[in-house]
């Protein structure tokens, strides 16, 4: 049996299940997590952003079997990497959480990051910036995609 890919999902993928434009792909992504195609990786950054979300958004986590979910936490190392992204201007200070998602996922050595954030995460210029900093600092960059690109629709 093939080892499932470890995929970090930012909060936009959770909320996407309840937005008409993104619901089909987001729901299919979570279906594929539940069937073991992917291991869902979530972080303390995700939990902080989900905190004000309605219960029905949080309930998505309850549907994921424990074997197919992994929790990771921010560390001094991920905060230094986040700071490097911000200092290099990959994203501005108002997007610090976006940089935190990429940093914690990079440190956790995930295979992929999925997001609907086309302005600060899934954008060719931002991806190039994150990858440039990661390469300069000796980190392997996870691939960054929208859910459409990973679910096989």
Four-residue CA torsion sign, 14, 114, 26, 67: negative
CATH code, 142: 3.40.50.1010
Number of domains within the chain: 1
List, for residues 41-91, the tens digit of each pLDDT value: 999 999 999 999 999 999 999 999 999 999 999 999 999 999 999 999 999
pLDDT tier for residue 18 given thresholds of 50, 70 and 90: very high
29-52 mean pLDDT: 96
102-111 mean pLDDT: 98
Domain that holds residue 16: 5-151
Note the pTM of the prediction, 2 decimals: 0.95
pLDDT at 43: 98
């Amino acid at each position: 049996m093939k080892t499932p890919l470890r995929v970090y999902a930012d909060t936009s993928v959770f909320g996407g299940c309840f937005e008409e434009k993104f619901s089909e792909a987001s729901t299919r992504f979570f279906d594929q997590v539940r069937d073991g195609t992917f291991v869902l990786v979530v972080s303390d950054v995700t939990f902080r952003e989900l905190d004000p979300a309605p219960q029905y958004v949080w309930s998505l986590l309850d549907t994921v079997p424990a074997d197919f979910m992994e929790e990771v936490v921010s560390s001094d190392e991920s905060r230094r990497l986040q700071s490097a992204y911000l200092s290099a201007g990959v994203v501005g200070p108002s997007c610090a959480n976006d940089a935190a998602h990429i940093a914690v996922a990079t440190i956790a050595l995930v295979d992929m990051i999925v997001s609907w954030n086309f302005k600060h995460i899934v954008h060719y210029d931002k991806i190039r910036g994150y990858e440039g900093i990661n390469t300069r600092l000796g980190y392997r960059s996870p691939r960054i995609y929208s859910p459409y690109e990973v679910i096989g629709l």
